Chain A
Amino acid sequence: MLLIHCPYCEEERPELEFRNAGEAHIARSTNIAAESDEDFEKFFFIRSNPKGVIFERWRHIHGCARFFNVARDTITDRFLLTYKAGEPKPDIATLSSEAGPAAWANRPPDQLNEKPRAKRSTKGEA
């Protein structure tokens, strides 16, 4: 079970309180009735489904009930960032530059590179 940082509750909460709501930053046209078939197709049917960083919507449905946005790595399931609905889409370059499976934890972006220290004895081996 993942821990998800709710930007409204300002803390990590268990995944059971949340529900995924599909890809984020797909704006509904303010004049949707006049949209071309091609544009409507893009808006309604086409999703990016990337391997790597995806921007998606989640709802803290059994918590504060707010919809919010996240950047998540689809390879590791790691949440890189969560932010309030309506806030601008963050720059993907700053999110994906981080390499290695340092942590699954929802850390603020500036701490993503911190790795837990691994220790191991080399003594006493034949």
Chain B
Amino acid sequence: MAGSYRISGQGRLTPAKTARFTFDGKAMTGLAGDTVASALLANGVHLVGRSFKYHRPRGILSAGAEEPNALVTVERDAARKTPNVRATVQELYDGLTVNSQNRWPSLSFDVGAVNDLASPFFSAGFYYKTFMWPKAAWHKFYEPNIRAAAGLGVAPDQPDPDHYAAHYAHCEVLVLGGGAAGIAAALAAAETGVRVILCDEQAEFGGALRFEKGAVIDGQDGWSWAQGAVATLAAMDNVTVLSRTTAFGYYAQNFVGLVERVTDHLARPGRDEPRERLWQVRAKRVVIATGAIERHMVFANNDRPGVMLASAARTFLNHYGVVVGKNVGVYTANDSAYAAAIDLKKAGVGVAAIVDLRDNPAGPLVDEARALGIEVNHGRAVTSANGSQRIKSMTVQAKGGGAERTIAVDALLMSAGWTPSVHMFSQSRGKVAFDDATKRFLPGTYAQDCVSIGACNGSDSLEDTVAQALEAGANAARDAGAKSSKGVALKVEASEGWTGGMLGAGPGAGAGTTVKAFVDFQNDVTAKDIRQAVHEGMRSIEHIKRFTTNGMATDQGKTSNMHGLAIAAEALDKQIPQVGLTTFRAPYTPVTFGAIVNHARHGLFDPTRKTPTHSWAESHGAVFEDVGQWKRAWYFPRAGEDMHAAVDRECVTVRKSAGLFDASTLGKIEVVGPDAAKFMELLYTNPWEKLEVGRCRYGIMLREDGFIYDDGVVGRLAADRFHVTTTTGGAARVMNHMEDYLQTEFPNLDVWLTSISEHWAVIAVQGPNSRKIIEPLVEGIDMSDEAMPHMSVREGKICGVPTRLFRMSFTGDRGFEVNVPADYGRAVWEALWAEGQKHGACAYGTEAMHVLRAEKGYIIVGQDTDGTVTPNDAGLDWAVGKKKTDFVGIRGMMRPDLLAKGRKQLVGLKTKDPRTVLEEGAQIVENPKQAIPMKMIGHVTSSYWSANCDRSIALALVAGGRDRLGETLYVPMPDGVIEVEVTGAVFFDEKGDRLNG
């Protein structure tokens, strides 16, 4: 057998299918179908981890997703190291490597366990109180040390090599949970033909049927029925069955997040298989069938390895064929633990005693236990579990006190009853209601189109559950639009029924004691901590939760919330409903970052946009810069050139001969319709009605507040057709801004907008030789100064393909922008390049473009403006149509503050030392000797070395700047104060002769 605690003839795994694994380096053998937890238990291992705060030895509490204790690290290789994996969820595969965590140097001897002895200092709220002083010590000392000591597992330090997938999915009926309830509901819904998705977090469907041996449905034992029913569902075209799939979040309008674990259980995952798959499901109806979670008993040292939930022990036996001890005790307030004792006893395990807190437990299970010869103690409590790294005995005492009796056990099974799993319902914003008779919160008021069925809805019998489920499934399908229904019938022939349960601390852990009776195992919260929180003045359950951290661990308080609430209610002397329940939040269980990020990694993290001539620039040595999502050629260094040398050469070459520049990223919008000019009048400050066809104009766009929003050159192609350009970064928002006004403020205008940004590649050819370079390639356009003056646009052909040829300049020299359909961009660029070579032209990048425009004082929106700059501030009053009565921003511009004296205005700055280049963003002051903080009167917006001017140049926004021409101002920097002279913004060819040069 794989492990000495595996019993032959028990469980559903195949003994021949063994799987080897290691735990903390020790080789062990389990069976295919085991979880790490069942395999460890089969090998007699109970001690699997150390607790979060006190480093107490911990074992395995549960057999499912609610596990707070048994957190381990699973390692496939150096990069695939997953910490905080629940041993009760991780399936075994051959070659699996598992390590315990939060211990040093070893699990059995852990230095951090000194925290347990020092625990009086670590009580509730201790972080908030203890590390307050000295303040500086927090970052340097306290926090790093606390983090190191109170950690869980260690995150891998290498990139995640796995890939993760995602799907949006739609269905009529989504069923959350694949126990008897979920399966029955899915059968009823699927039969109608509507799309059904059924998911369950376990590897196999069946839910509680995994351990409930007593169920018989349609003539089969419950588990076999479940497997058959799910196979039937999986074979239906309209059904998607997802195992190993956790519904972790329930969002607005029946939008539910599921995460499917695809390869974590495989020894050798396929190369293309995603590790996990995120399903974002939109369902017309959701059936919540999430079952119930067993609670532990709260008593002293209830966290000792070997102390576990009764249903877990039963699962390990009935499903995995593993006994959790040879001589077990049972401590319960609920019938269901009797079933565990009975199953174990029948499997040959010694049951030392059942200790039942109830005074008069009765019913068939109690009778059967007694009939089997098990000692049943009623009205008694276990007041302590004894032992350190494994329970050795339990101390039993009458409820009201009295003589103690110690009973030797090697495992203790406990049950305080079952908590309906209302997480998904609560996340859907449904309101839970407290059922006083059964002391549990159940779904109350629904907020979405969903329904809860089975144990999560308070059903305690399988007959009820199945009947509810069939009705709910059929109704959900019908409400979601199913046309017909034949109905599904299921016959429950035998089932188990349980009663009982208790909330809060048991005897011996009641008020006044300081024993460690754990409520929240994962965050090491004891009954005493919760009372202390109340004692220190916490009244709201939300405050108590945060002060004690009860329920705040990654297990979301699945086992602890109700106990914590009951203890708080008792301490507050209030009823539970008056204290209220904390909010359930997504995720239900931890979700990997990989699943959340899924495809959006590496090249798919964000689109990388490349222009049609990108490959040419690449092959010509361009260095690229990121401009939004675009890659733009920044400069083209030649051999031996650094950036500075390359940019200087490019700037000089453009003004001496010519340069080619890729301007394809500019936004371009075609404005078409009889009211096109009228629309342009409203969206731009400039006048457009009288712009002749074939001419261009530099336009400024404002927001309604009167500040500059965008700018660009606009060409009129026809009376009813404009070709508008925008800044690269503004392309999308300008289009949205224009559409907004067109659709909602000026809907009566007959005009339409179309983005043509990506239809046209744009090659700027600038410099005195620009015409000579283009002319030989052009057909049908007279490029003479007379026929095609500065600021004009012509349509024709270049290299045999259509072009919109603009004569315009962003350098101050004669210039053109050649628009060609994008797919021809590279070929036309190459043809222009070949022509350019004849004239000594160069290719230049965005850096030289910036310098050249700054030499002319041309602004870049977003660099020289910041959303608070008016056309007047920028010295662009000339571009505002003075006779216009309306355009966007006309009223905003007239606001008193925007007309006030002393506004920051765009000016030039020349450093007194021409070699000094200012830093962009540097602040400007009048008097550098004033006390700090100095009064700042402006800042540098653009600053470059200008090879053409043979000095540094800068643009700046300075308060009252245009009245300060000639003044000396100061730029204080860390290593000294720089003296500057305020000048006009034009540094080169002030008269503008070169536009026609």
Q: Are A105 and B739 in contact (CB under 8 A)?
A: no
A44: chain B residues within 8 A (beta carbon): 704-705, 892
A66: chain B residues within 8 A (beta carbon): 743
A117: chain B residues within 8 A (beta carbon): 451, 475
User: Total A-B residue pairs with C-beta atoms closer than 8 Å?
Assistant: 127
Q: Closest A-chain residue to B704, C-beta based?
A: A44
B912: chain A residues within 8 A (beta carbon): none
In the assembled complex, B747 has its CB within 8 A of some CB on chain A: yes
In the assembled complex, B497 has its CB within 8 A of some CB on chain A: yes
A126 to B886, CA, bound (A): 76
Which residues of A, 13-36, contact B by the 8 Å Cβ criterion? 14, 19, 21, 28-29, 31-33, 35
- Fill in one digit per residue for A88-126: 1 if any B CB lies within 8 Å of its CB, else 0: 000000000000111111100000000111111111111
Per the CB 8 Å criterion, the residue count for chain B at the interface is 58
In the assembled complex, A40 has its CB within 8 A of some CB on chain B: yes
Asked if A120 meets B443 with Cβ closer than 8 Å, knowing A104-B253, A105-B253, the reply is yes
Q: Are B499 and A67 in contact (CB under 8 A)?
A: no
Which residues of B, 422-446, contact A by the 8 Å Cβ criterion? 429, 435, 437-438, 442-446
Asked if A118 meets B475 with Cβ closer than 8 Å, knowing A2-B252, A32-B890, A124-B464, the reply is no
Q: Are B894 and A124 in contact (CB under 8 A)?
A: no
In the assembled complex, A9 has its CB within 8 A of some CB on chain B: no
Q: Are A118 and B736 in contact (CB under 8 A)?
A: no
B443: chain A residues within 8 A (beta carbon): 118, 120
In the assembled complex, A10 has its CB within 8 A of some CB on chain B: no
B800: chain A residues within 8 A (beta carbon): none
Asked if A37 meets B253 with Cβ closer than 8 Å, knowing A61-B736, A116-B451, A124-B459, the reply is no
A74 to B512, CA, bound (A): 47
A2: chain B residues within 8 A (beta carbon): 252-253
State which of A33, A59, A104, A125 has its C-beta within 8 Å of the C-beta of B460: A125
Q: Are B450 and A116 in contact (CB under 8 A)?
A: yes
Q: Closest A-chain residue to B465, C-beta based?
A: A121
State which of B168, B251, B446, B501 has its C-beta within 8 Å of the C-beta of A118: B446
In the assembled complex, B745 has its CB within 8 A of some CB on chain A: yes
CB distance from A51 to the nearest CB of B (A): 17
Q: Are A3 and B437 in contact (CB under 8 A)?
A: no
A77 to B447, CA, bound (A): 12
In the assembled complex, A50 has its CB within 8 A of some CB on chain B: no
A9 to B438, CA, bound (A): 50
Q: Are B747 and A86 in contact (CB under 8 A)?
A: yes
B282: chain A residues within 8 A (beta carbon): 3, 14
A105: chain B residues within 8 A (beta carbon): 253-254, 449
In the assembled complex, A46 has its CB within 8 A of some CB on chain B: no
A65: chain B residues within 8 A (beta carbon): 739
Q: Are A121 and B459 in contact (CB under 8 A)?
A: yes
Q: Are B449 and A116 in contact (CB under 8 A)?
A: yes
A33: chain B residues within 8 A (beta carbon): 885-886, 890-891, 894
CB distance from B608 to the nearest CB of A (A): 20
Chain B interface, DSSP helix/strand/loop, else mixed: mixed
Q: Are B280 and A1 in contact (CB under 8 A)?
A: yes
A35: chain B residues within 8 A (beta carbon): 891
A118 to B475, CA, bound (A): 11
Q: Are B464 and A126 in contact (CB under 8 A)?
A: no
A118: chain B residues within 8 A (beta carbon): 443-446, 451-452
A97 to B886, CA, bound (A): 41
In the assembled complex, B255 has its CB within 8 A of some CB on chain A: yes
State which of B448, B449, B499, B891 has its C-beta within 8 Å of the C-beta of A40: B891
State which of B438, B452, B745, B891 has its C-beta within 8 Å of the C-beta of A126: B438
State which of B429, B468, B704, B747 has its C-beta within 8 Å of the C-beta of A119: B468
Q: Are B449 and A32 in contact (CB under 8 A)?
A: no
CB distance from A84 to the nearest CB of B (A): 10
In the assembled complex, B740 has its CB within 8 A of some CB on chain A: yes
B739: chain A residues within 8 A (beta carbon): 59, 65, 67
A86 to B744, CA, bound (A): 7
Q: Are B447 and A101 in contact (CB under 8 A)?
A: yes
A37 to B447, CA, bound (A): 45
Q: Are A119 and B472 in contact (CB under 8 A)?
A: yes
A106: chain B residues within 8 A (beta carbon): 253
Which residues of B, 488-526, contact A by the 8 Å Cβ criterion? 497, 499-501
Q: Closest B-chain residue to A30, C-beta based?
A: B886
A61 to B894, CA, bound (A): 32
Q: Closest B-chain residue to A61, C-beta based?
A: B736
Q: Closest B-chain residue to A67, C-beta based?
A: B743
A44 to B706, CA, bound (A): 11
Asked if A1 meets B252 with Cβ closer than 8 Å, knowing A37-B895, A121-B458, the reply is yes
B895: chain A residues within 8 A (beta carbon): 37, 40
Q: Closest A-chain residue to B753, C-beta based?
A: A65
Q: Closest B-chain residue to A3, C-beta based?
A: B253
Which residues of A, 26-71, contact B by the 8 Å Cβ criterion? 28-29, 31-33, 35, 37, 40, 44, 57, 59, 61, 65-67
Residues of A at the B interface (CB closer than 8 Å) are: 1-3, 14, 19, 21, 28-29, 31-33, 35, 37, 40, 44, 57, 59, 61, 65-67, 76-77, 85-86, 100-106, 115-126
Beyond contacts A67-B744, A121-B457, A124-B461: 20 other A-B pairs, Cβ-Cβ < 8 A, are A1-B280, A14-B282, A31-B886, A33-B894, A44-B892, A59-B736, A67-B743, A76-B447, A103-B447, A103-B449, A104-B253, A105-B254, A116-B446, A116-B448, A116-B449, A116-B450, A117-B451, A119-B457, A121-B459, A124-B464
Cross-chain pairs A/B with CB under 8 angstroms, 24 sampled: A1-B255, A2-B252, A2-B253, A33-B894, A35-B891, A37-B895, A40-B895, A44-B892, A59-B739, A67-B740, A76-B447, A103-B449, A116-B285, A116-B446, A117-B475, A118-B443, A118-B452, A120-B458, A122-B458, A123-B460, A123-B461, A125-B458, A126-B500, A126-B501
The 5 A-B residue pairs with the shortest CB-CB distance in the complex, in nearest-first order: A126-B499, A124-B460, A101-B447, A124-B461, A121-B459
